[in-house]
């Protein structure tokens, strides 16, 4: 069995070695392509590795005390690396769709391509080049995640396990794209919806864009690789979905109130991007009940996409005063309690289960 630190080192090594191979292959085609791998590599350094860890600990939990073989450990490391590659691809596309200029305190990939275009004094639009480059890098990383995943499954000698893992991975890819579209749709169509619809629509975006792919899918994939049956996989869904929703609700709060030093993004970035989160929906709901005249002002500012610091401060105050922030914090606690209660009563390996509980609490209470 690998400790947390040993496991994460192996996942990073898997990603680094993969990028090294791609650099050699791309350089053989053209030296200009090395930049593509370099930008990819930069997104694969560090991070919280929540998805990899959920996958690993669910795998250990589903083994129910059995010692994993060396082949299985090789496989789960590769599977976890594939999940991290997929996550990085989603970040590239997400930043482009949201027109978010920063990621982890550094320029987003589309901004890096823009800068490359500008510094080289190339013809045409730096912005268009940035969009094109980031789309291609994101697509490439999606393909690479499938390549790493498929190679990792070669460590399984059981065709049923391999098939179950592929099904879970395929479902994850479809669901996150569905959630991403619903997110974009709400940013553009929310003003035409009724306030009564807002919370339910925002919750559906959370479920498919984040909760399932960030936590439920890694849990189910890891457990499936250990040979878990459908009943056992269902337990991981019952644990993962409320936890995943709590995870995104915390992210939504950080997107409005988080410290840029910790989040790696400007203060109030979600407000600047016009994000239609549960936090925003609850604010509008409260305003409609208590101060209806404020709804129009709140909506106009949220859709302007060009907020100055004073307007960010104003919207933050409105959200606090409406009670939406306190209500969202309560939802996080209740969802976290539900997830932990499900896991604590599950018949799983105690070591893996204890590690999942610790990780779940970090997800709920994280500072960034």
Residue 2: left (phi > 0), alpha (psi -120 to 50), or beta?
beta
Residue 97's Cβ-count burial label (10 Å; 0-12, 13-18, 19+) is middle
> Is residue 252 a contact partner of residue 227, using CB atoms and an 8 Å limit?
no
- Lookup: tokens for 305: 């996409």
User: Mean pLDDT, to the nearest integer, of 346-356?
Assistant: 92
CA distances from 97 to 58, 151, 291 (A): 32, 30, 33
Q: For position 367, what pLDDT does the model report?
A: 53
How many percent of the chain have pLDDT more than 70? 99
Per-domain residue ranges of the chain = 4-365
**Between residues 104 and 155, which one has the greater pLDDT?**
155
Q: Is the pLDDT of residue 325 over 70?
A: yes
Helix axes 309-322 and 324-344, enclosed angle (nearest 10): 60
- Lookup: tokens for 312: 């960010």
Per-residue model confidence as pLDDT tens digits over 41-73: 999 987 889 999 999 999 999 998 899 999 999
- 3-class DSSP state of 106: strand
Residue 368 confidence class, pLDDT cut points 50, 70, 90:
very low
- 3-class DSSP state of 367: coil
Rg (CA), the chain: 21
> Is residue 232 a contact partner of residue 58, using CB atoms and an 8 Å limit?
no
Beta-carbon contacts of 258 under 8 Å, excluding residues fewer than 6 positions away, are 265, 267, 368
Q: Is the pLDDT of residue 35 over 80?
A: yes
Q: How far apart are CA 169 and CA 220, in angstroms?
A: 9
Beta-carbon contacts of 68 under 8 Å, excluding residues fewer than 6 positions away, are 1, 59, 60, 76, 226
Q: For position 274, what pLDDT does the model report?
A: 85
Beta-carbon contacts of 296 under 8 Å, excluding residues fewer than 6 positions away, are none
Phi first, then psi, for residue 346 (nearest 5°) are -80, 145
- Number of H-type helices and E-type strands within the chain: 17, 2
Q: What is the pTM of this model?
A: 0.92
User: Topology of 4-365 in CATH?
Assistant: Farnesyl Diphosphate Synthase (1.10.600)
Residue 188 confidence class, pLDDT cut points 50, 70, 90:
confident
**Between residues 264 and 67, which one has the greater pLDDT?**
67
Q: How far apart are CA 255 and CA 268, in angstroms?
A: 6
Buried b (16+ CB within 10 A) or exposed e, 47-64: eebbbbbbbbbbbbbbbe
């Amino acid at each position: 069995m690998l400790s947390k630190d040993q496991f994460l080192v192996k996942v990073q090594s898997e990603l680094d070695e993969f990028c090294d191979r791609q650099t050699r292959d791309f350089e053989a085609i053209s030296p200009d392509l090395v930049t593509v791998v370099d930008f990819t590599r930069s997104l694969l350094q560090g991070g919280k590795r929540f998805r990899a860890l959920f996958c690993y600990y669910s795998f250990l939990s589903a083994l129910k005390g059995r010692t994993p073989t060396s082949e299985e450990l090789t496989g789960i490391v590769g599977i976890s690396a594939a999940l991290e590659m997929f996550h990085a691809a989603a970040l590239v596309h997400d930043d482009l769709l949201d027109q978010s200029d920063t990621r982890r305190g550094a320029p987003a990939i589309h901004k890096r391509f823009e800068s490359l275009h500008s510094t080289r004094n190339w013809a045409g639009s730096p912005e268009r080049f940035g969009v094109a480059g980031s789309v291609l890098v994101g697509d490439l990383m999606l393909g690479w995640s499938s390549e790493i995943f498929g190679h990792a499954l070669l460590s399984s000698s059981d065709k049923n396990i391999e098939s179950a893992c592929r099904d879970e991975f395929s479902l994850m890819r479809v669901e996150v794209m569905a959630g991403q579209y619903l997110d974009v749709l709400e940013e553009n169509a929310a003003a035409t919806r009724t306030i009564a619809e807002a919370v339910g629509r925002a919750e559906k975006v959370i479920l498919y864009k984040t909760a399932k792919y960030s936590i439920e899918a890694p849990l189910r994939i890891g457990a499936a690789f250990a040979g878990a049956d459908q009943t056992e996989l269902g337990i991981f869904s019952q644990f993962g979905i409320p936890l995943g929703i709590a995870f995104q609700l915390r992210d939504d709060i950080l997107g409005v109130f988080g410290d840029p030093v910790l989040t790696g993004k400007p203060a109030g970035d979600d407000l600047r991007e016009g994000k239609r989160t549960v936090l925003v929906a609850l604010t509008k709901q409260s305003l409609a009940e208590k101060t209806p005249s404020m709804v129009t002002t709140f909506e106009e500012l949220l859709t302007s996409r060009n907020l100055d610091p004073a307007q960010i401060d104003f919207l933050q105050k409105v959200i606090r005063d409406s009670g939406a922030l306190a209500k969202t914090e309560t939802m996080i606690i209740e969802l976290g309690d539900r997830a932990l209660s499900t896991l604590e009563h599950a018949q799983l390996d105690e070591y893996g289960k204890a590690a999942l509980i610790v990780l779940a609490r970090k997800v709920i209470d994280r500072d960034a």
